[in-house]
Homo-oligomer: A and B are copies of this chain.
Amino acid sequence: MSRRTMIEAIRDAMAVAMERDDNVVVFGEDVGYFGGVFRCTQGLQQRFGANRCFDAPISELGIVGAAVGMAAYGLRPCVEVQFADYVYPAYDQIVSEAARLRYRSNGDFTAPLVIRMPAGGGIFGGQTHSQSPEALFTHVAGLKTVVPSNPHDAKGLLIAAIEDDDPVIFLEPKRIYNGPFDGHHDRPVTPWSRHPLGEVPDGHYTVPLGRAALRREGAAVTVLAYGTMVHVAEAAAADCGVDAEILDLRTLVPLDLDAIEASVRKTGRCIVLHEATLTSGFGAELAALVQGACFYHLEAPVLRVTGWDTPYPHAQEWDYFPGPVRVARALLQIVEA
Contacts and interface: CB of A to CB of B under 8 A. Distances in A.
Interface of A: 85, 88-89, 91-92, 95-96, 99-100, 103-104, 127-128, 135-136, 138-142, 253, 276-277, 279-285, 287-288, 291-293, 295, 298, 300-304, 308-311
A195 B138 CA distance: 38
A302 B295 CA distance: 9
Contact of A139 (B128, B277, B287): B277
A205 to B, nearest CB: 29
Contacts of A85: 96
B279 A302 contact: no
30 contacts: A85-B96, A89-B92, A91-B91, A91-B92, A96-B128, A100-B311, A103-B127, A103-B310, A104-B311, A135-B280, A136-B136, A136-B139, A138-B280, A140-B277, A141-B279, A141-B308, A141-B309, A142-B311, A279-B285, A280-B284, A280-B285, A284-B288, A287-B287, A287-B292, A288-B288, A291-B291, A291-B301, A292-B303, A295-B298, A295-B300
Contacts of A285: 279-280, 284, 288
A30 to B, nearest CB: 20
Given A253-B279, A295-B298, 14 more contacts: A91-B91, A96-B128, A100-B127, A103-B311, A139-B276, A141-B310, A285-B288, A287-B287, A287-B288, A288-B288, A288-B302, A292-B301, A293-B301, A295-B301
B281 A139 contact: yes
A15 B138 CA distance: 39
Given A96-B88, A135-B139, A141-B277, A288 B292 contact: no
A283 B288 contact: yes
A91 to B, nearest CB: 5
A141 B282 CA distance: 15
A274 to B, nearest CB: 11
Contacts of A311: 99-100, 103-104, 141-142
A136 B137 CA distance: 9
A310 B280 CA distance: 19
A311 to B, nearest CB: 5
Contacts of A142: 311
Nearest to A290: B291
A110 to B, nearest CB: 14
Contacts of A280: 135, 138-139, 280, 282, 284-285
A316 to B, nearest CB: 12
A300 B285 CA distance: 18
A280 B285 CA distance: 5
A62 to B, nearest CB: 13
A240 B306 CA distance: 40
Contacts of A283: 288
A280 B295 CA distance: 19
A142 B136 CA distance: 16
